[in-house]
Chain A
Amino acid sequence: MATKVVVDPITRIEGHLSIECDVDGGKVIDARTTGTLFRGWELILQGHDPRDAQDYVQRICSVCPVTHGAAAAFALDDAFGLTGQIPENGRIVRNLILGANLLHSHILHFYHLAALDYVTAPNLPPLVPQYAGDYRLPAAVNAAAVQHYLQALEIRKLAHTMLAVWGGRIPGQRGIVPGGSPANVDTEKIVQSKFLLAQVTDFIDNVYIPDVLAVAGAYKDWAAIGVGCKNLMTYGGFPMDNNGWNGKRFYSNGVYINGQAGALDPTQIGEDVQYSWYKDGIPKGPYQSVITPEPYKAAGYTWLKSPRYDGNVVEVGPLAKLWINNNATLKSILPGEAAFSVIGRHAARAVDCSNVAHAMADWLMQLTPGGPTCVPNEVPQHAEGMGINDAERGALGHWIVIDNWKIQIYNAIVPTTWNASPRDDNGQPGPMEQALVGTPVADVNNPIELVRVVRSFDPCLACAIHLITPDRKVRKFRVY
């Protein structure tokens, strides 16, 4: 007889999430994920001036506001016909702002969101209480990790300071608009950024990566837990030219399905709703998808839709991005298929962080002080646009339809919607649900193992559940 284990709320993520797992024989045999906040973003954006989107959507989530703002700007570039005209300075400043937030977000995730699953906290609320569990780090390593927790607070702030040099402030940065960036480029900003970036890079290479390796060493079995679906997708990231989503990017886009690498075709993206509380039979494509809620639908168990790529369940995130880009460092740390794991996701995030930090130092030197950063824009009467780019947590896409100079349809399919999606029309569970299955649970009253799996995905629920509407039925179950 399986025991139902509910963890609600899951803290140390962005947003509101709960999970429900059936545990039998000390292992998870089935899992369901539920997001528990709905705000109605796409509805709110309807009828607005399209340029409002780039600022509104940053409030979908303020841990990754820049990537939402950028995805909106990319979609507006596309709709306004500006994609080929972005000045070099504008392209680079956008990448610097995106990069700076990635450095902040990955460091924040490892130290402040995930670390307490592996590190014994000092006796200081709200770091305690913790679940009882197998905290295995040697005392000296554990003590150093606690110090690094505090140091990382400061370092991630420096990444944000660098971001504000270009974007004015963060959260709510102002440095990315359709047509480029409003920021002026001068030598003072470049030098200031180099100085800040050097400190952040030093921490990533000499503290963050060693700490991830120390956790990987102490928790070796976790390189085989939380494997998931092993199908991956990335939109790539950081445009290196002006050719839009399929131009040259620092990270290339692509898919990895059933062990085969392939090219990305965004028209293969569709969303299923058979197990979601929406009416069946709605258009699947992101330009057309408008949902009709059906809160008491018998088959439904979540408000998340189920995005699929050509019918395939795909995981998104730094692991997908680095695996598809054949990253040698990741594959040397975790040979074979060991990267498909809880440790693999943490390692990929750390390697990603280092890659981007080093690249940013080059990008800064490619700026032209005094050069143009932005071209003017005009809102068209009718247009469509797509902006796809990897956010900190994985593939992020925004789609916009403009009618009579206003937003008619706005659709965001975000990383956590991919990763925490429910079963699709073919009954295939989502990536996080698949990753939970097989996870050992030593003590159902302290399900530390479950939250380790969930947090390895760096879930962001404010992002994922922007679509949901109406009454959620109160479900009465529970266990321990």
Chain B
Amino acid sequence: MKGLSRRDFLKLCAGSAAAVSLSELLLPHLLEAAPASGNPPALWIQGASCTGCSVSLLDSEQPAIATILTDVISLKFHPNISGASGYLATKVINDTAAAGGFYLVVEGSVPTGANGMYCTVGETENGQTITFVDRLADLGSKAAAVLAVGTCASFGGIPAATYGGNPTTHGGPTGCMGVLEFFKQKGITTPVINVPGCPPHPDWMVGSLAHVLLYKTLPPMDQYHRPTMFYGRILHDNCQRRQYFDNSQFAKMFSEPYCLLELGCKGPFAACDSYKRQWNGVSSCILANGPCYACTDMNFPDGSSPIYQRYPDVKLPDIDASADAVGVTLGAAVVLGMAAHLVGNAVNGRLGHKEE
């Protein structure tokens, strides 16, 4: 791809252009790179989802997102947009899968309990119920690559949370898990990019897809398959309110401008770049006085509950330390999982509290 080197692409995605939509920046390059053979087909399917990832994507800066969906890829099916219902819709999915070479976007957790009957998604031509797990296994094994959008599709999310106050109930009432774990169980080797967040920022979804389209290869990812260009830094280490933490000034009420740790902030283990990436073009959790609950984390929501209690009260595996020590420990763990060329940046970010 001539216009934009992969190195520059990664920089652009991870860069600190707070008020600019990534889709707008990437669109010209995507259009330039669009193959003459036609736009690559894509299917978007939903399992145990709340449609939040789709709504977040819709909230991306227009008109870039509409252009990406129409001029860069050819989205053949989306449960909330498709004109077709019933078997007419199922046939579109089957025909796209049969033709091959498509990208699969998965939103929602994978409910494996009760032979998949907790989530059914249609009927075959002969009237047989199709479960979501069967559809995912079928499409997942045929797809060129899978984008698991949201914390549910990435790691299981809230439907996979422990329940009834019983910590041994992971997987939730319906045996939920993320796409990658499901693929491992089924022996499916199709590459998976996790784009967690509850919901994910639209830039994270668009940027991850764009990398695959432009360079036909996966972006650098951490051990949890999260692209490091978006998930490579810890929120707490770059937080707008970090100076208050260093000065031990903590908010006791939401309206105070100080560090939100005492109100339950989980920023010290949140791999999230919302300190520089505005949501809906105007704000973010921290800017709205909302303590971070680390929704991009593989242990969300169990690892973040109780949301509004200070941290040492939060149950984390094998950790019993002060807030700052927890930040350093988990920060280091994340750093270890990164591609080598990003380690320096992350360390700099943690120590210097600033962006490259």
Contacting A39 at CB < 8 Å: which of B114, B174, B280, B283?
Answer: B174
Collect the chain B residues with CB atoms within 8 Å of residue A127's CB. 81-83
Which residue of chain B has its CB nearest to the CB of A163? B280
- Flag if B75 contacts A169 (CB, 8 Å): no
Contacting A477 at CB < 8 Å: which of B81, B127, B162?
Answer: B127
- Flag if A172 contacts B255 (CB, 8 Å): no
- Flag if B306 contacts A52 (CB, 8 Å): yes
Interfacial residues of chain A within 440-480, with CB under 8 A of chain B in the complex? 447, 451, 462, 468-472, 474-479
Interface of A, secondary structure class, is loop
* Nearest CB of A to B292, in Å: 10
- Flag if A125 contacts B79 (CB, 8 Å): no
Tell me, yes or no, whether A139 is within 8 Å of chain B by CB. Answer: no
| B interface residues, tally (CB under 8 Å) | 86
Given contacts A49-B308, A168-B285, A476-B127, is CB(A12)–CB(B86) below 8 Å?
no
Given contacts A374-B254, A462-B51, is CB(A160)–CB(B280) below 8 Å?
yes
Complex Cα–Cα for A38 and B209 (A):
29
- Number of A-B pairs, beta carbon distance below 8 Å: 274
Tell me, yes or no, whether A148 is within 8 Å of chain B by CB. Answer: no
- Flag if A171 contacts B163 (CB, 8 Å): no
Collect the chain B residues with CB atoms within 8 Å of residue A129's CB. 83-84, 88, 92
Tell me, yes or no, whether B258 is within 8 Å of chain A by CB. Answer: no
- Flag if B79 contacts A11 (CB, 8 Å): yes
Interfacial residues of chain B within 57-88, with CB under 8 A of chain A in the complex? 58-59, 62-63, 66, 70, 74-86, 88
Choose the segment among A1-9, A338-346, A431-439 that binds chain B (4+ C-beta atoms closer than 8 Å): A1-9
Tell me, yes or no, whether A287 is within 8 Å of chain B by CB. Answer: no
* Nearest CB of B to A297, in Å: 15
Complex Cα–Cα for A468 and B286 (A):
35
* Nearest CB of B to A358, in Å: 23
Q: Which of B63, B77, B82 has the most CB of A within 10 A?
A: B82
- Flag if B80 contacts A39 (CB, 8 Å): no
Interfacial residues of chain B within 225-279, with CB under 8 A of chain A in the complex? 253-255, 279
Contacting A44 at CB < 8 Å: which of B49, B161, B288?
Answer: B161
Contacting B85 at CB < 8 Å: which of A44, A131, A373?
Answer: A131
Contacting A126 at CB < 8 Å: which of B77, B86, B172?
Answer: B77
- Flag if B50 contacts A168 (CB, 8 Å): no
Complex Cα–Cα for A61 and B54 (A):
12
- Flag if A12 contacts B80 (CB, 8 Å): yes
Interface mask (A116-145 → B, CB under 8 Å = 1, otherwise 0): 100001001111111100000000000000
- Flag if A113 contacts B80 (CB, 8 Å): yes
Closest 5 pairs between A and B when the two form their complex, measured CB to CB? A47-B165, A168-B288, A174-B290, A62-B52, A478-B127
| A126-B76, A160-B59, A171-B55 known, 9 other contacts, Cβ within 8 Å | A6-B123, A46-B163, A62-B199, A65-B50, A126-B84, A127-B83, A168-B289, A172-B52, A376-B253
| B residues whose Cβ falls under 8 Å from a Cβ of A | 46-53, 55-56, 58-59, 62-63, 66, 70, 74-86, 88-90, 92, 109, 111, 114-115, 117-123, 126-129, 157-159, 161-166, 172-174, 176, 198-199, 253-255, 279-290, 293, 295, 301, 305-309
